Structure 1
Amino acid sequence: MEKEKLQSFCMTLSGTTHDYQVDWQADRYHVGGKMFAMIGGDSEGKPIITLKCEPKRAEELRETYKGIIPGYYMNKTHWNSIYFDSNLSTDLIENLIQHSYNLIFEKLTKKVQKEIRME
């Protein structure tokens, strides 16, 4: 998994904005002002991407894939972190990014959703 590919994929999603959180040393991706992805490191500096996930699916993913853990520094029920060295397919990770984006997008007001779709 390459950081640049993940960043590029995140930026292809409608209405996505990016910032860098200096305190966390993490790149953050937002839609409608709400974060859906964060690329940074764990306590040992190992690269991870953290994504929102439907709770039941989040648990299933953690049980299925060794490289997926409860969201680092996030609500463990609703967020997963994925280690870059976990050998997961690009398709799976892009699917999980899209899932995270969709969960956030669906919670935005209808007005904001419409504005994003118009971009």
Structure 2
Amino acid sequence: MDGEALHEMAIRTAMGLPAVVETQPFSEGIFVYKVVGKMFVMTSELRGVPIVNLKCAPPHGAALVRDHEEISPGWHMNKQHWITLSPGDGIDETLVEDLVGNAYDLVVAGLPRAKRPIDPSRGAAAD
């Protein structure tokens, strides 16, 4: 997957989830996607190459970094809880969709129950 497609897929997937807002709190060209004020995805460029930072559970993130050349510990983020996707043949739409969805679910699960836009254990709207 090339860099433009990587950004497009991550953004489209993030914005399709409940209660997500796009912000630009840092600088031009860096977009942050939040649910109930909590960041779960960031798109930016590193030395001119489009990248996507995603929240990730530590064991899952470590396995992804080990198994995918295009995945590294989170750039400018807590390297235990964030990963960075770079363009390359090992990144496809399904992987990006899954990782964005997992990042969202991880953040939603950490929210107080009353603030959750969905129940992450059921994948349904919260009551």
Q: Does 1:76 align with 2:79?
A: yes
Q: Could you tell me the percent identity over the aligned residues? A: 28
| Correspondent of 2:93 among 90, 93, 108 | 90
TM-score (norm 1): 0.89
Residue 63 (1) aligns with residue 81 (2): no
Which of 19, 22, 25 aligns to 2:29? It is: 25
Q: Partners of 2:20 and 2:61 in 1: how far apart?
A: 23
Structure 2 segments unaligned to the other structure (5+ residues): 120-124
Does the residue aligned with 2:94 lie in a helix, a strand or coil? helix
* Corresponding residue number in structure 1 for 2:19: 15
Write the distance in 1 (CA, Å) between the matches of 2:22 and 2:54. 15
2:14–2:100 contact (8 Å) kept in structure 1: yes
Measured after TM superposition, the shift of residue 8 of structure 1 is 1.4
Paired residues, what number? 117
CA RMSD of superposed structures (Å): 1.9
Q: Does 1:47 align with 2:50?
A: yes
Contact in 2 for aligned 1:49/1:84 (Cα 8 Å): no
Q: Structure 1: how far apart are the matches of 2:81 and 2:26?
A: 24
AA aligned opposite 2:40: F
Residues 114 and 60 of structure 1: is their aligned pair in 2 closer, same or farther, counting only changes over 3 Å?
closer
